[in-house]
Amino acid sequence: MNRLIKALRAFAVAAVASFCIVAVAQVPAPPEIAARSYLLLDVTANQMLAQKDIDSAVEPASLTKLMSAYLVFDALKSGKITLRQTLPVSTRAWKMPGSRMFIDPKMQVPVEDLLKGLIVQSANDATIALAEGVGGSVEHFVDLMNEQAKVLGLKNTTYKNPEGLATPGHTTTARDLSILATRLMRDFPEYVYFYAIKKYRFPGTPSTNDTNRNVLLFRDPTVDGLKTGHTDAAGYCMIVTAKRDFPNLSNGRRLLSIVLGTASENARANESQKLLNWGYTAFDAVRLFDANQPVATPPVWKGKESTIKLGRPEPIVVAVPSGSASKIKTQVARPDPLVAPFVKLQPVGSLKITLADQPVAEVPLVTLEPVEQAGVLGRAWDAIRLWIK
């Protein structure tokens, strides 16, 4: 029985972590976006609102640094390193081409400053110093990047370096980047503030090298991340996230825009802003159920409780075309009969959401409270009742 409970708990944790809602079946036509591929995700509803060629292989350029930062954040969270800890600057880091924060081997640089260099200045030298500090070597750090990509389900991503300089085989997709970006924000909320920093430079380095390349941080007060990238092969790329106040959503509504392969710095910013503004105006975010609110309380057999509460540990929100909220319908699909035991957060069925009788989304439901097995007599009685049923 203990083995069963442990297995159920592990399954429950995995199911909650992989929570996903399918895309809307019928959506307004998105605006024309001048990019090789693009994607707009409603993070709050976990729905794709617009997309183009999201599974096409692309060079990520400095968007690579999202995974590098993910591993550094993980090392911070686990206590392997600290923000105040200083790291040496190797000759390899010092000699890195491209964007830099201008550190050299005479320096010992705090992890916090290296992270600001990596994120705000997109500094390749800072990225290498962090990779060596966390991974022991750049090569081992790249191995860790690819291992983490598999864990996160990035099926079409291969890393060859931590900084994103063009290298054969160093590729990803817009879909994989959206998964990485949303997991980074969800897994490390205590560190994502780095991406909203507009200006930073390490003392003693050039003052002209202090501005975040994400110009939407300066144009749109609701934008608070995430990253830009550019190489000749990749073009100008950008991942932008914004959080705006929205009716009936106490924590606001977050959208994530990805544009890849635009023609210029200004183009990537304009196309990203266009996607964000369209997403906020063309769609309403409707809260169907609060966090931990039961969606259904079906009967349970052979348990100490007669019913079980099904729902989600976070609010259930759906994105629908503006003005169509009154046409939403929901239906619970679940196994029958439900036989105890159940651990908390164990997957049990789903909530199917339709709009004007067209499928919109399907949300996995989990148990909000555990239900232990009844005693021998209780189980025997329910066995008889089930047989009669």
Amino acid letter, residue 297: T
Bridge partner residues of 246 (DSSP): 249
With contact defined as beta carbons under 8 Å apart, do 203 and 99 qualify? no
How far from the centroid of its chain's Cα atoms is residue 213's Cα?
A: 21
CB neighbourhood size of 3 (10 A): 7
Using a 10 angstrom Cβ sphere, with 0-12 exposed, 13-18 middle and 19 or more buried, the burial of residue 359 is: middle
CB neighbourhood size of 107 (10 A): 16
3-state secondary structure of 286: strand
Ranges of beta strands (E only) in 136-205 are none
Q: What does the block give as tokens for 227?
A: 């990253």
DSSP notation for 240-260: EEEEEEETTEEEEEEEEEEEE
CA distance 76 to 115: 11
Q: Compute and round to an integer the Cα radius of gyration of the chain.
A: 24
The residues carrying an active-site annotation are 62, 65, 122
Element of type H or E holding 9:
helix 2-17
CA distances from 372 to 117, 291, 300, 378, 385 (A): 52, 23, 10, 12, 19
Cα 307-313-316 angle, rounded to 5 deg: 100
Q: What does the block give as tokens for 33?
A: 């976006």
